[in-house]
């Protein structure tokens, strides 16, 4: 059940976002809460960057903050380490975790977003990608910050600029429990998996971790970068993710309190379990 206040916020936001859209001013949304919520998320998803009145943003922030409370915020301390969960007592067993669930619930220093080269989030209404989920939970201010970043880049490099694969871009987290979002554009597998694509994915993980170090972020949650829509094979992606993080921690482990591998699907959880247990055994990292 949703509170009366939350229902009032939803109705208010629907009116404002419909009016703001122009084209969808007369959109029929239905009477139920879930139908209205779907319509609001859709309007947020399709909205181009641009100013919104402060009073509307305030209600949006209150609404999204309440939704986070309803879903339940998860802190790093509540997530077991690999050592606690699987008995992996290698040198990084206390710094690594595997957690299955909605990444937008995590109260950590940063969550990682698998962005696209346009860096503005997903414009497909209620799409199932993580880019859409993160922007929808953060609020429209996240797209606006990403747009400012891209405008700056286009002034410097030209109007056709797209964010290169493998880089890391830091933004605020806005209404997310996470303090920051680190956006990285993963490689897209179009025909076959190549060594170059593997190196690009490795760069994603390395540069996100470097970004954390440069900004004093000690707890980070990675999504499964480039799997799904970008068609990177899940098992190879997990192998690269675990290997790259472990090698980075060998040098800079003191800079991190926790690195979390966040998965959503059962198949990815099973793959990461094998990778983590295979790479952290008996107090020694296996060669791979």
DSSP per position, 67-100: HHHHH--EEGGGSPPHHHHH---STTTTTEEEEE
pLDDT at 285: 42
Nearest to 139 by CA among 212, 211, 43: 43
Place of tokens 């220093």: 109
Task: Return the number of other C-beta atoms located less than 10 Å from residue 247's C-beta.
Answer: 15
CA distance 225 to 27: 35
Burial of 146 by CB count in 10 Å (0-12 exposed, 13-18 middle, 19+ buried)? buried
Mean pLDDT computed over 238-267: 97
Is the pLDDT at 127 greater than 70? The verdict is yes
pLDDT at 1: 79
- Separation of CA 127 from chain center: 14
Nearest to 41 by CA among 62, 63, 26: 63
pTM tops 0.85: yes
Residue 267 C-beta-side C-alpha neighbours within 13 Å: 7
Residue range 68-115, pLDDT digits in tens: 999 999 999 999 999 999 887 777 899 999 999 999 999 999 999 999
pLDDT confidence bin for 43, thresholds 50/70/90: very high
| Residue 245, phi then psi, degrees to nearest 5 | -65, -45
């Amino acid at each position: 059940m949703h509170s009366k206040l939350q229902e009032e916020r939803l109705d208010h936001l629907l009116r404002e976002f419909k009016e703001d859209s122009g084209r969808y001013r007369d959109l029929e949304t239905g009477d139920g809460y879930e139908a209205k919520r779907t319509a609001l998320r859709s309007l947020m998803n399709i909205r181009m960057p641009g100013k919104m009145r402060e009073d509307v943003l305030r209600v949006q922030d209150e609404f999204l903050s309440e939704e986070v409370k309803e879903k339940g915020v998860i802190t790093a301390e509540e997530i077991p380490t690999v050592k606690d969960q699987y008995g992996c007592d290698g040198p990084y067993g206390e710094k690594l975790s595997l957690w299955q669930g909605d990444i937008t619930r995590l109260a950590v220093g940063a969550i990682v977003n698998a962005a696209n080269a346009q860096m503005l989030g997903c414009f497909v209404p209620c799409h199932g990608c993580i880019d859409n989920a993160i922007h929808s939970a953060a609020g429209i201010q996240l797209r606006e910050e990403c747009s400012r970043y891209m405008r700056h880049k286009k002034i410097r490099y030209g109007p056709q600029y797209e964010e290169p694969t493998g880089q890391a871009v830091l933004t605020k987290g806005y209404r997310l429990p996470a303090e920051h979002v680190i956006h990285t554009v993963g490689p897209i597998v179009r025909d076959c998996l190549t060594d170059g694509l593997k190196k690009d994915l490795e760069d994603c993980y390395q540069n996100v971790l470097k970004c954390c170090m440069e900004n004093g972020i000690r707890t980070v949650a990675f999504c499964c970068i480039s799997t799904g829509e970008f068609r990177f094979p899940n098992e190879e992606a997990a192998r690269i993710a675990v290997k790259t993080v472990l090698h980075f921690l060998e040098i800079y482990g003191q800079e991190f309190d926790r690195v979390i591998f966040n998965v959503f699907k059962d198949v990815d959880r099973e793959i990461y379990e094998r990778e983590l247990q295979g790479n952290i055994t008996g107090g020694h990292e296996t060669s791979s």
